[in-house]
Amino acid sequence: MKNANYKNIALLTMAAAGLAGVGQVHAQSSLTLYGILDEFAGYQSAKVGGKSTSLYVLGNNGELTSRWGLRGTEDLGDGYKTTFALESGFDPGTGKQQNSYRLFDRQAWVGISAPYGEVRFGRQNTPMFGWSGNMDAFGAATYGSGYNNFANWLARVDNDISYISPKLANTQVELHYSVGGQPGTLAGNAVYQAGVQTTQGPVYFAAAYLNAANATNTNRVQEIMAGGNYDYGHGRVYIAFFRANEVISATTGNALSNPAGKYDPTVGPVSNAAGNYHNTWSFSADYRFSPALSVGAGYAFITDSSSLDNNARQMSAILNYDVSKRTRLYAVVSRLNNSNSAQFKMAGASITTGSLLTPDGGQSETGVQFGIRHLF
């Protein structure tokens, strides 16, 4: 009798598994839990408050921002799918959320994917943020990325409606409109974006434009990004450019209030005057000794067209060693030189309080990092 009971239980279990499989075939739904853990030992040296200051730190988010996320799809049939993503940043050194007042501070959107493209609604990454790492041997992160330290593009925007085209001839277009939520106007506090990226053989190129209005639609911040890379077989050569009409008076603060991504002129030491811009250029390259081991170097500079003339430049080198497909060790050494009253500083994928120094105006900074990054 016991054997018969065991047999019945086994048959029921197999039947349940089969029914679950049938449901999966028809629904074709998927849910993925993913994440990143990134920590580093860092050293920075600069003159702060008139004194030579050194900082030794166990920091977070050197190459990539630590995060966990959920993404999923549901097949609706005939080439249509429901898509979504929820993503939350955190600091592994303390276990704290990066933004204590919102759980999903990085992304939170839902969309519909169709044969002619995808439409998304919610908090989303900007094309500038998503594509910047393809223009820099440092992945637009770590102490060593002058491109990241100087350019300060907007990373993500609230209440964003986007259209992402299908790839045609390895080319893709993105269009974004962030609802401003101001009574009587569609333009006040709105953010408009457009971008295109393409891969043609060994060449990758991308360009993006952002236009953000203040609440009364009386002034606008405009940003332009362009650049790419060329794969020469043993590595890549990168070039990047960024231009914005907000004048940085001292640091990389800007008029776009993060993390909401709306224009708030009270945030950051900035001004906005006709004809004034800051321009960032970055040139870098890497070389692969093997699929696991690569080295890179780069030079970046920023020019301030205002009377402040707050320029800066940076030279850096990086070594990456992939222990496995998911785990990487990295090392960075960098030197940043400020001019006049500029106070640019070395950051990383995401600034964490206490893990960096802000030099005095016109002072230089040296930085060294040894880190580990794990994907799951």
In a domain, 8, yes or no: no
Q: What is the pLDDT of residue 21?
A: 47
Q: What is the pLDDT of residue 219?
A: 81
pLDDT digits (tens, 9 = 90+) for 82-99: 999 999 999 998 898 988
| Domain span at 283 | 32-375
Q: What is the pLDDT of residue 275?
A: 72
Q: What is the pLDDT of residue 133?
A: 96
Distances (CA, A) of 191 to 116, 219, 260: 24, 12, 11
In a domain, 65, yes or no: yes
pLDDT digits (tens, 9 = 90+) for 292-345: 999 999 999 999 888 888 899 999 999 999 999 999 999 999 999 999 988 999
- Quote the tokens at residue 239: 């070039």
In a domain, 154, yes or no: yes
**pTM greater than 0.85:** yes
pLDDT digits (tens, 9 = 90+) for 284-302: 999 999 999 999 999 999 9
In a domain, 36, yes or no: yes
Task: Please count the structural domains in the chain.
Answer: 1
In a domain, 176, yes or no: yes
Rounded Cα–Cα distance for residues 148 and 9 (Å): 60
In a domain, 237, yes or no: yes
- Quote the tokens at residue 363: 């002072």
In a domain, 15, yes or no: no
In a domain, 116, yes or no: yes
Q: Which residues of the chain have pLDDT under 70?
A: 1-27, 246-259, 264-274, 353
On whether the CB atoms of residues 246 and 221 are closer than 8 A, the answer is: yes
CATH code for position 354: 2.40.160.10
Q: What is the pLDDT of residue 26?
A: 47
Rounded Cα–Cα distance for residues 356 and 349 (Å): 12
